[in-house]
Amino acid sequence: MSDASSAPALYRWEGHQAAKPVDPKLEALVRDIIGKVADKWTMLILEALEEHGTLRFTDVGRKLGDISQKMLTKTLRQMEADGLVARTVHPVIPPHVDYQLTEMGQSLGAAFCGVWLWAEAHHAAIEASRAAFRARQD
């Protein structure tokens, strides 16, 4: 309200407050990382590699079960670019490519561990909530 004098009277959805105690750059950066890392496929690949150690391209796909090859390629590339997985190409025919977690990938896997445990602990409560919500909607 303080700076509403010069701003148009219209409600601005995209407006952002200027005064923030934390560093906005760091905030945005962390938010970007979260946006990339908090991806369904990233988490699932992370878990598969954490559990099985080194996996080949097709094996990762099989562990996940229902990922398309396009998304598998894309997500693995992104994770490689972010330094989460190491990609080892054995120059043989037919091609042989191994993927494994880097140290950073392992640490992220450890950080996500709590979320997995949470999901395992609360899946019953979540399903109950969904049922109750559905009943409430009627």
Encoding tokens for residue 7?
Answer: 């701003």
Contact flag: residue 112 with DNA (CB under 7 A):
no
Neighbours of 61 (CB within 10 A): 20
- Residue window 35-74: x/- pattern of binding to its own copies, with contact defined by CB under 8 A: x-xxxx--xx-------------x--xx--xx--x-----
Q: Which is nearer to its own copies, 14 or 92 (CB)?
A: 14
Contact flag: residue 97 with its own copies (CB under 8 A):
no
* DSSP-based helix, strand, coil % in the chain, nearest 5: 60, 10, 30
DSSP 93: S
Classify strands 85-90 and 96-101 as parallel, antiparallel or unpaired: antiparallel
Torsion of Cα atoms, 83 then 31 then 37 then 107, to 10°: 60
Q: Which residue in 43, 71, 86, 102 binds DNA (CB under 7 A)?
A: 71
Secondary structure in 3-state letters for 47-70: HHHHHHCCEEHHHHHHHHCCCCHH
Q: Which residue in 45, 48, 49, 67 binds DNA (CB under 7 A)?
A: 67
Dist. CA 73–CA 97, nearest whole Å: 12
Contact flag: residue 31 with its own copies (CB under 8 A):
yes
Q: Which residue in 74, 95, 96, 118 binds its own copies (CB under 8 A)?
A: 118
Q: Can you tell me which residue has the tokens 């005064």?
A: 19
Q: List residues near its own copies by CB under 8 A.
A: 11, 13-17, 26, 29-31, 33-35, 37-40, 43-44, 58, 61-62, 65-66, 69, 80-83, 104, 107-108, 110-120, 122-123, 125-126, 128-130, 132-134
Q: List residues near DNA by CB under 7 A.
A: 9, 11, 39, 56-58, 66-71, 73-74, 76, 87, 93-97
